[in-house]
């Protein structure tokens, strides 16, 4: 008797979707895998799109299939195929063309889209951008070619990278943030001094403690930004980077439970049968605190997608959850790593801070001091993975605590603790 070929349908062709596709292919060589993408480009490493703006890399250098772990054969990626709705009774997905696609197993991996502040007027003007896709990056490049000054709204990692890319192109760039310092999701204001200095050295103008209330424009598009303190800044383009929303609107009639993001259990499954979710769109949980969280991190999306792929292909795999903060990057010439709980102002966490001219670190322990729950390294991030391991595994750190605080820990210590 012939075994029925399983039809896997994956909505979204970025980190979570492609990691799932590859995992499924490893476990099920015969099933059909269809990945739906609303974009025009083949899957790519989304965090690399600032390089399109700086011109340092071509699109062909950031394509995903065939690189790193993305080696699965026979995965049918359909571009320009936005999913419009899901019918969980008939087990079908309707795509933009009106075509219905049946599924045996479905993964929702539609990711997220940039938040647009509702209190900002004038965003329809030409020259106002968000940065999410290669198409966005190309549009930014076109406008940048005739612009002298760009204003960036929001101080997250992506906006800082976009700002650096525009600086590299030779534009003047001003970053406007409501918080007192940049990267407020990854550190507290007092932690950000080295980063601020690095940005200013790189040529960025930083305006803190205020927000843009209106984008000013004429027939040629953006000509300035009006701030809430009444100041007016002349510019030719604006980039909005104020976080993201999960892409869940198309699930409205589906019966799939959504609470901000798509609600999944520990095995990445939704409330509807044979439907799974992973990546930015999924509401997962924090492995330290157990709280429900949605993260928008490539690394998390890959891990969760990989896990969902196993579950879809019939190999139950529990997702261990994630940390709300898990970022490594380099801002201008300063590297940084931020992991776990790093916002400690007004809390009872035991916090150890060390400041040096070129390095800053903050180690956060539980109030009883027994476990490491957060780490921020700025300037010197060597061996950060050991600290990530301790946080993630919830390990008591008694015997090695002073080494952690002094950042002298190496794998030998962990090994000797174990054996």
Partner 1 sequence: MSQPKEIFARLDRCVGCHTCDIACAVEHSKSKNLFEATSEQPAPKNRVYVEWVPRHHKVPVLCRHCEDAPCMHACISGAISRTGEGVVITNSDKCIGCWTCVMVCPYGVIGRHMETHKAYRCDRCPDLQSPACVNACPTQALVYRTIEAFSGDVRQKAAREMISGEGR
Please, which residue, 61 or 318, has the CB nearer to partner 1?
A: 61
Looking only at the bridges linking them, the beta strands covering 282-285 and 172-177 are unpaired
Q: Which residues contact 274 (CB under 8 A, 6 or more apart)?
A: 91, 103, 104, 105, 106
Nearest of 58, 73, 61, 63 to residue 28 by alpha carbon: 73
Number of residues that bind partner 1 (CB under 8 A): 41
Please, which residue, 93 or 326, has the CB nearer to partner 1?
A: 326
Minimum distance, C-beta of residue 193 to partner 1, in the bound complex (Å)? 20
In the list 93, 302, 373, 405, the residue contacting partner 1 (rule: CB under 8 A) is 302
* Segment contacting partner 1 by CB under 8 A, of 198-206, 228-236, 248-256, 320-328: 320-328
Minimum distance, C-beta of residue 335 to partner 1, in the bound complex (Å)? 6
Contact 111, 14 (CB under 8 A): yes
Length of the chain: 419
**Rounded-to-10 torsion of CA 387, 392, 393, 398:** 40
Please, which residue, 153 or 372, has the CB nearer to partner 1?
A: 372
Q: How far apart are CA 286 and CA 366, in angstroms?
A: 15
- Mark residue 198 as left, alpha or beta (left: phi above 0; alpha: psi -120 to 50; beta: remaining): alpha
Report the alpha-carbon angle 232-143-198, nearest 5.
65
Task: Give 40's DSSP letter.
Answer: S
A 10 A CB-CB count for 290 gives 9
Strand, helix or coil for residue 390: helix
Please, which residue, 24 or 384, has the CB nearer to partner 1?
A: 384
Nearest of 63, 56, 72 to residue 39 by alpha carbon: 63
Contacts with partner 1 in 45-64 (CB under 8 A)? 45, 47-48, 51, 61-62, 64
Contacts with partner 1 in 358-417 (CB under 8 A)? 381-386, 388-389, 409-413, 415-416
In the list 147, 284, 329, 344, the residue contacting partner 1 (rule: CB under 8 A) is 329
Minimum distance, C-beta of residue 77 to partner 1, in the bound complex (Å)? 16
Contacts with partner 1 in 147-206 (CB under 8 A)? none
Please, which residue, 247 or 327, has the CB nearer to partner 1?
A: 327
Please, which residue, 39 or 101, has the CB nearer to partner 1?
A: 39
Site string for partner 1, 16-35 (x = CB under 8 A): ---x----------------
Q: Which residues bind partner 1 (CB under 8 A)?
A: 19, 45, 47-48, 51, 61-62, 64, 67-71, 298-299, 302-303, 306, 326-330, 335, 337, 339, 381-386, 388-389, 409-413, 415-416
């Amino acid at each position: 008797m012939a075994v029925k070929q399983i039809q896997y349908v994956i909505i979204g062709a970025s980190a979570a979707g492609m990691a799932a596709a590859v995992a499924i292919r490893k476990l099920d060589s015969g099933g059909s895998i269809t990945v739906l993408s609303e974009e025009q480009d083949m899957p790519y490493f989304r965090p690399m799109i600032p390089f399109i703006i700086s011109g340092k890399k071509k699109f062909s250098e950031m394509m995903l299939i065939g690189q790193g772990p993305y080696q699965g054969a026979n995965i049918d990626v359909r571009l320009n195929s936005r999913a419009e709705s899901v019918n969980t009774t008939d087990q079908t997905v309707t795509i933009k063309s009106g075509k219905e696609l049946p599924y045996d197993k479905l993964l929702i991996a539609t990711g997220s889209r940039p938040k647009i502040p509702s209190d900002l007027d004038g965003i329809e003007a030409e020259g106002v951008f968000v940065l999410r896709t290669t198409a966005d990056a190309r549009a930014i490049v076109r406008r940048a070619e005739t612009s002298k000054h760009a204003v960036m709204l929001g101080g997250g990692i992506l906006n800082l990278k976009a700002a650096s890319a525009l600086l590299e192109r030779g534009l003047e760039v001003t970053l406007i943030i409501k918080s007192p310092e940049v990267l407020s999701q990854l550190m507290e204001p007092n932690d950000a001094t080295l980063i601020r200095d690095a940005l200013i050295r790189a040529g960025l103008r930083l305006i803190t403690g205020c927000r843009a209330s209106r984008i000013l424009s004429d027939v040629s598009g953006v000509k300035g930004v009006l701030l809430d303190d009444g100041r007016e800044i002349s510019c030719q383009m604006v980039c909005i980077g104020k976080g993201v929303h999960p892409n869940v609107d198309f699930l409205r009639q589906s019966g799939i439970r959504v609470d901000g993001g798509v609600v999944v259990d520990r095995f990445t499954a939704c409330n509807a049968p044979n439907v799974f979710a992973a990546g930015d769109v999924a509401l997962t949980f924090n492995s330290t605190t157990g709280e429900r969280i949605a993260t928008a991190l490539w690394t998390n999306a890959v891990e969760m997608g990989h896990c969902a792929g196993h579950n879809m292909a019939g190999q139950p795999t529990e997702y261990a959850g994630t940390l709300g903060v898990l970022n490594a990057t380099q801002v201008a010439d300063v590297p940084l790593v931020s992991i776990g709980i790093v916002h400690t102002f007004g809390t009872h966490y035991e916090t150890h801070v060390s400041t040096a001219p070129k390095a800053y670190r903050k180690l956060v322990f539980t109030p009883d001091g027994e476990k490491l729950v957060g780490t921020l390294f700025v300037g010197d991030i060597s061996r950060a993975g050991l600290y990530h391991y301790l946080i993630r595994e919830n390990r008591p750190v008694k015997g090695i605590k002073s080494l952690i605080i002094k950042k002298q820990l190496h794998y030998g210590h962990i090994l000797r603790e174990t054996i």
